[in-house]
Amino acid sequence: MVEKEKYNLLLRSFDEDLDADQEAKLKEALSSSEELRTEQEEILAMRNMISSQKASFKPGFTDRVVNKIKEESHLQVIIPDFNQTFFSVFKKVALTGVAAIIILLFSIYYSSSRLGVDTIVGDPYSDDGLVSYLLYDDIDE
């Protein structure tokens, strides 16, 4: 059975730079233990097996990606066009509305010489008038 400490040292040696002391310890352990040497060979073989893995996508990968990008860019051209049209129409409608409100307010001010909620919403009762109306509802009779 390989000592845990030596085995860990062996595992670490594949990916880390061991210090001089650890390196000497591992070297000594490898020369004295056949089991550890076997472990080393097995790990190396396994790592080679993994690193020699070849992988590829199905043929035509580049074309598929480029086509997707083109489709996406085409969509992006259409969407801003729609947005642009929508916002330019909305802007015109909004500006016309604001202009109409200003003209309306101005005409109210011009005709009644004052600008208040009453004159805008057309409430015929001023505060004083309302009190008179409530107290003497037959005032006109």
CB–CB of 69/39 below 8 Å? no
To the nearest whole angstrom, how small is the minimum distance from the Cβ of residue 23 to another protein?
16
51 binds another protein (CB under 8 A): yes
CB–CB of 44/13 below 8 Å? no
Span 8-47, contacts to another protein by CB under 8 A: 8, 11-12, 14-16, 42-43, 45-47
Residue with tokens 């990968």: 61
To the nearest whole angstrom, how small is the minimum distance from the Cβ of residue 27 to another protein?
20
Taking only Cα atoms into account, the Rg of the chain, rounded to an integer number of angstroms, comes to 44
1 binds another protein (CB under 8 A): no
Residues forming the site for another protein (CB under 8 A): 8, 11-12, 14-16, 42-43, 45-47, 49-51, 53-58, 61-66, 68-70, 72
